[in-house]
A = this chain, B = another copy of it.
Amino acid sequence: MATESMSLLGLEKTSLRQQALAALRRAITTGEIAPGTHLVETELSETLQISRGTLREAMRQLQQEGLISAGPRGRLSVRHLDAKEICDIFSVRAALESLAARELCALEDRAQVIKELRRALEEMERASKDGLEERIEADLNFHRTLCGLTGNETLLHSWGSLEGNIRMSIMFAGFERAAQNMSVKRHGEIVDAIETGDAAKASEAITEHMDGAAKVLVG
């Protein structure tokens, strides 16, 4: 998790595949590569200065994450999202995070969990004064933490494979709109609901939050 805080000998030896993966994911979710663009292996490998084989592995993963889709004859292109798909994505997201909230309510030592969540909130607060990039990151980090604290690895994994789509949704709707969904106060309500330990209440807080967010995004 905390790979960035290695004080001693920070040998960040990450494979080319992972670097390519991160670079492509970023480029796609920021709109640097327009949706619908055909991703030609030979071109990309030339641009990224890596071999096609290595690139292909990264592309497969991106494909699995739903950021790029396969056309006829293995042609890969950046996925295009419409309003309905954004709604669909947020429906699934709501279902997952709602489960997370319910599981957290069932925990005995909720105190520690609440502490972690409030810490994530503080980070959002700090980021609200910074750029858009940081705000998005802090927001996603909050929700990822929500899933991670359950200790349900499968839940975290499923949420993770949705993260790319969420980022695309944000990019697609425009960053101004998306910023409306990152109010610290509205996220605080979720934490409050979880703190009460009332699973139904917490679940509803999440679904409400997501419904609202989706509505804002599709305008």
Contact = CB atoms under 8 A, between A and B. Distances in A.
B92 A152 contact: yes
A137 interface: no
A92 B99 contact: yes
A187 B101 CA distance: 28
A88 B162 CA distance: 18
Copies of this chain per assembly: 2
Interface residues on A, range: 20 to 34
Majority DSSP secondary structure for residues of A touching B = helix
Interface of A: 15, 53, 56-57, 60-61, 64-66, 74, 85, 88-89, 91-92, 94-96, 98-99, 103, 152-155, 157-158, 161-162, 165
**Top 9 A-B residue pairs of the complex, sorted by shortest distance between their CB atoms:** A95-B99, A88-B152, A64-B64, A88-B154, A95-B95, A53-B53, A89-B154, A92-B154, A60-B60
